[in-house]
Structures are given as structure tokens and as C-alpha cells.
């Protein structure tokens, strides 16, 4: 499942919308890293930058957050939840 947030014209506007969506549903977003996605995990936790995660850690994420062209400053931001997380997700 994916949810896309559109840029409204100010820096990081789509990212702020995605952060609000995550807060409302008890998801934590990983640390921002240009050119890479951010990990997404249900609950209150610390998630490192993508480059610092090994393959096993990336696999246990509930999803990923991607920015248009690898940037989160401008353009869309998309949350991609894994299929097995869909059943656990609170309804929008």
C-alpha cells in the first residue's frame, strides 16, 4: 500500500504532511538522508539513517518513506507500507 503527499509550494511541505499522517497512526519515521528512503516502523522507536541499516534491519521495517528524486525538500513524498502491515494499520 502506498500513500502519496503532494508538495504545496514550501520547503518540506509534503514531508510534513507525511510526518503528521505517521504521528496520527503511531508510526515512527527514520532519520532523513538525501538520496535514500527513510525506514518506517510502528510504535515509538529510533530508526537510523538508511545507509547505517544492514539488510536484516531494513527487512524488519514496516515500510519506507520515499521522496521525489531522492529529495524530501521539494516534490512528492510517498509512504510505502509492506503488505503484511496493511492488516495492522489504523483506518484513515
- Within-domain flag for 91: no
- Within-domain flag for 6: yes
User: Cell numbers at residue 6, please?
Assistant: 503532494
- Within-domain flag for 16: yes
Distance of CA 75 to the CA centre of its chain: 14
**pTM listed for this prediction:** 0.86
Average pLDDT over residues 36-40: 97
How many C-beta neighbours within 10 Å does residue 51 have? 9
Above pLDDT 70, what percent of the chain? 90
The conformation of residue 68, written as its DSSP 8-state character, comes to G
Question: In terms of residue numbers, what domain contains 35?
Answer: 2-86
- Mean per-residue pLDDT of the chain: 91
Q: pLDDT class for 86, splitting at 50, 70, 90? A: very low
User: Cell numbers at residue 38, please?
Assistant: 527513510
Average pLDDT over residues 18-47: 96
Q: Answer whether residue 26 shows pLDDT above 60.
A: yes
Average pLDDT over residues 24-48: 96
Predicted local distance difference test score (pLDDT) of residue 83: 79
- Within-domain flag for 10: yes
- Within-domain flag for 61: yes
Number of structural domains in the chain: 1
Amino acid at each position: 500500500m502506498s500513500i502519496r503527499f503532494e508538495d504545496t509550494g514550501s520547503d518540506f511541505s509534503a514531508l510534513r504532511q507525511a510526518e503528521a499522517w505517521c504521528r496520527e497512526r503511531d508510526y515512527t519515521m527514520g532519520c532523513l538522508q538525501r538520496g535514500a528512503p527513510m525506514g518506517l516502523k510502528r510504535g515509538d522507536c529510533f530508526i537510523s539513517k538508511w545507509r547505517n541499516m544492514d539488510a536484516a534491519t531494513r527487512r524488519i521495517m514496516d515500510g519506507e518513506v520515499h521522496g521525489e528524486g531522492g529529495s524530501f525538500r521539494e516534490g512528492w513524498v510517498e509512504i510505502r507500507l509492506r503488505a503484511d502491515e496493511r492488516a495492522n494499520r489504523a483506518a484513515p
